[in-house]
Amino acid sequence: MSELIERLRAGLPSDAVVTDPDVLRSYSHDMASFCEAGTAAVLVLPRRTEEVQHVMRVCTELRTPVVPQGARTGLSGAANASDGCVLLSLVRMNRILEINPVDRYAVVEPGVVNATLSRAVNEHGLAYPPDPSSWEECTIGGNIGTASGGLCCVKYGVTAEYVLGLEVVLADGRLLTTGRRTAKGVAGYDLTRLFVGSEGSLGVVVSAVLALKPQPLGQLALAAEFPSATAASDAICRIMEQGHTPALLELMDRTTLRAVNAMTRMGLPETTEALLLAAFDTPRPADDLAAVGELCEAAGATEVVPASDAAESEMLLQARRSALVALEQVKGTTMIDDVCVPRSQLGAMLDGVAAIAERHELTIGVCAHAGDGNTHPTVCFDANDEEESKRARISFDEIMALGLELGGTITGEHGVGVLKKEWLARELGPENLELQRSIKKVFDPLNLLNPNKLF
């Protein structure tokens, strides 16, 4: 251990190597429940690519595992420490290196916070669309590692669609450049996409070329109340079938609405079973909202309320962004699932989750990126109650099983990490899993990068 720390310090600034046990514990896990975390040997906080390369060379020579980390806002345990590992935090690599308005890309380091990048490119009349709910805290590196999504994915797509190129430090310290800065490019295998969603298991991203879009017009939103999840899901299907492309299409059930009201005092309707939020950033958003409102009423909405201005629209958006934090306050601890199903199966998914909650006598709130079928059933429980914690874990697994039965996937944007390793194997099957493990061995033959995650 002393040799590891001594050799790390030889190539890093004095404040970049941390061994304080309390600090190590605070960095040893992300925000996921029920995910084991080991005891790290040391925390390193590099500022330059050369320092990351030094860390990886030392760790390869000493056969020491490395766990890359961003802001640790993840919900799958992907950033959790392994015993004896080096925690490689990239939060100090936080520079925006370039914004190119002509070619519409930005070059950033992995520690840049999502919201910081968004505001910076807004000044050039551009936008970086992926916007996870934790956008004020989460980093671009973490977004790339988990292939994260966000509220506007239904129109603008997810992180993977915006990563044009990467610089990646490999396990042995070599620097790999992938991708391009051009609008098009199909030279060779798409290694860039391979790294997106790999959860730090193939290499350490040290810079990214990100595609930008023209900044959208301001959003105008509406809220529609429904007497059942089935009716709300019917409205979602009608909206998509008719060819509408909302900037966001989000769903919150009654449990979630009550939790948000308790935390924010927003006065959202608590008698409805499901609240659908739709927003448009088109030249004539009021016309689009009127058409969507009619579809909601045809599907059984009891109330459709368009926002009168941008401020009201932003309030509705903030209510949705607050959902997961609000649900955490119901019982003190949450397990946040991330099951994505075909849009046509949303009603069955929500009804199934409600049945699971009733069967296990638990509070489970559901919010969803309804436009792309990505649901976030959130199990609320008291972590100090051993019996309730056991029921929470069982219900979490049953929700994932339900998603697979409905033709979905165990994760739409949060990743696999520690939390869903067994379920990944079930979804992929043995042949697929074997090939993925083989790819891991090509990039990381010693299995030093984020070991025991994913597989």
What's the whole-number average pLDDT of the chain? 96
Quote the CA–CA distance of 408 and 376 in Å, as a whole number. 13
Residue 447, pLDDT score: 98
pLDDT at 317: 87
pLDDT band of 133, cuts 50, 70, 90: confident
Residue type, 354: A
Q: Where are the domains of the chain?
A: 96-214, 220-405
Q: What pLDDT does 293 receive?
A: 97
pLDDT at 79 over 90: yes
Question: Percentage of the chain with pLDDT > 90?
Answer: 91
Given a cut of 90, whether residue 359 has pLDDT beyond it is yes
Nearest of 188, 193, 192 to residue 176 by alpha carbon: 192
Residue recorded with tokens 């990743």: 415
In this model, does residue 189 exceed pLDDT 80? yes
> Which pLDDT does position 247 carry in this prediction?
95
pLDDT of residue 202: 98
pLDDT at residue 217, rounded to an integer: 87
The Cα–Cα gap between 172 and 63 comes to 10
Note the helical H segments in 221-301.
229-241, 254-264, 285-298
> CB-based contacts of 433: which residues, under 8 Å, 6+ apart?
424, 425, 455
Statement: residue 342 has pLDDT above 80 = yes
Provide the strand spans (E) within 112-261: 126-127, 163-169, 175-179, 204-211, 213-214, 220-226, 248-253
- Sorting pLDDT into bands at 50, 70 and 90, what band is 54? very high
Q: How confident is the model at residue 439 (pLDDT cuts 50, 70, 90)?
A: very high
What was the pLDDT predicted at 34? 83
Q: What would the two tokens of residue 41 be? A: 């040997």
Segment 145-152 shows an average pLDDT of: 92
Residue 1 has pLDDT above 80, yes or no: no
Q: Give the tens place of pLDDT for each residue, 233-259.
A: 999 999 999 999 999 999 999 999 999
Matching residue, tokens 């934790």: 134
User: Topology of 96-214 in CATH?
Assistant: 3.30.465
Question: What tokens does 393 get?
Answer: 């874990």
User: Is 38 a residue whose pLDDT tops 90?
Assistant: yes
What percent of the chain is modeled with pLDDT above 70?
100
Element containing residue 18 per DSSP (H, E): strand 17-18
Residue 226, pLDDT above cutoff 80 = yes
Residue range 215-232: average pLDDT? 94
For 379-397, write each residue's pLDDT tens digit. Answer: 999 999 999 999 999 999 9
The pLDDT tens digits for 5-18 are: 999 999 999 999 99
pLDDT band with cut points at 50, 70 and 90 for residue 218: confident
Name the superfamily (CATH) of residues 220-405.
Answer: FAD-linked oxidases, C-terminal domain (3.40.462.10)
β-pairing, 42-44 with 86-89?
Answer: parallel
What mean pLDDT is predicted for residues 354-370?
97
Closest CA to 90 of 127, 143, 152: 143
Least confident piece of the model among 118-122, 266-270, 282-286, 400-404: 266-270
Least confident range from 82-86, 217-221, 241-245, 350-354: namely 217-221
Helix or strand or coil: residue 409? strand
Q: What is the pTM of this model?
A: 0.94
Instruction: Outline where DSSP puts E strands in 180-285.
Output: 204-211, 213-214, 220-226, 248-253, 274-280
Provide the sign of the torsion angle of the four alpha carbons 157, 268, 414, 129, taken in this order: positive
Q: Are strands 333-336 and 274-280 parallel, antiparallel or unpaired?
A: unpaired
Q: What is the mean pLDDT of residues 282-306?
A: 96
Residue 32 corresponds to which tokens in the numbers above?
């996921």
The pLDDT value given to residue 366: 97
**pLDDT class of 78 with cuts at 50, 70, 90:** very high
